[in-house]
Amino acid sequence: MSYTLDEKDGVLLFTLNRPARRNAINNDLMEAFKKVIHYVHTNKSVRFLVITGEGDQAFCSGGDLAEFHRLVTEEQAFGMLSKMGEILYDWATLPVPTIALINGAAVGGGCEIATACDFRIVSREARCGFIQGTLAITTGWGGATYLFERGLRHDHAMKMLVDAQTYDSGQLEDVGWASSVFDGDKLIALEQFIEFMRQINPGVHQAYKEIEIRKWAEKNLKQRVMEEIAQCSKLWESEAHAEAVGRFLSKNKK
C-alpha cells in the first residue's frame, strides 16, 4: 500500500509509503490525500494531522516524474497540477493544525506539501528545497503562494525559490521555514512539539485556523494558487523542461 493512516490520542499520522520512489506523489497518493482530508472533516476525534514519509531518506521527492513525464502539453500538465493544487488547498484550510514531520529530503513538490502545513518539524539530517527551477519549471502545486504567506522575509522566500537549491536544517531554521529541528526519533520529536498544544481545548485551535482561513479568503489565496499552477503549466510544455526531465530520468536509470 502506498500509504498508512493511524490515529492515536487525537493525532492522525499519514505516512507516505513509497520509499523505493523516495515517497514521490502519484495518482494513488493524490487519492489518498483526499481520503485523509475527508477523514479529518468527518472524525471530530482528530486534533492534529501529521504527514511524514516512510524510511529515513525522504519525506517526499515531489511528483513522480516516471509517471508524470508522459504529460507533455500545457493542458495535460494543468490537469495533473491543478488536481494536486486543489488537494493542497483543501489540506491547508483544514480546521485542525497540520504538521509536516520531515524525516528526510523534502524537495520539489515535497517542499510544497510541507509549506502548505502549519508547522514543519525537520530532521537534523534533512535537506529541503524548491528545486523545480532545475527542471525549467516553477512550483506547480501552490508552493510559492504558501511560502509567501508563511511569514518568511521576502528576500529569504524569494531566494529559496530562485536558487532552486536544497537547504540544510540549520539554514531552514535560520530563514524561518523550519518550525523546529530534531535529532533522533521523529515520533518523540512530534510529541515534544505538541506537548503544550495538547493542553489547550481543540476549539481554540479551530478558532485560530478559522482566522487564518478568513484572511486567505479575503486575499483570494485559492485564485492565486490556481494562477501559479497555470504559469507552471505553460513552462511544463517548453522544450527546456522536456530536456531537463529527459536528463533527470536518464541519470536515475544508471
Q: What is the pLDDT along the chain (254 residues), one digit of tens a residue?
A: 899 999 999 999 999 999 999 999 999 999 999 999 999 999 999 999 999 999 999 999 999 988 887 899 999 999 999 999 999 999 999 999 999 999 999 999 999 999 999 999 999 999 999 999 999 999 999 999 999 999 999 999 999 999 999 999 999 999 999 999 999 999 999 999 999 999 999 999 999 999 999 999 999 999 999 999 999 999 999 999 999 988 888 877 65
| C-alpha span between 78 and 231 (Å, rounded) | 9
Domain ranges of the chain: 3-186
CA–CA separation, 228 and 57 (whole Å): 29
CATH 3.40.190.10 for domain 3-186: no
Cα→Cα distances 140→42, 50, 94, 226, Å: 29, 22, 21, 9
Report the predicted TM-score, pTM, of the whole model to 2 decimal places. Answer: 0.97
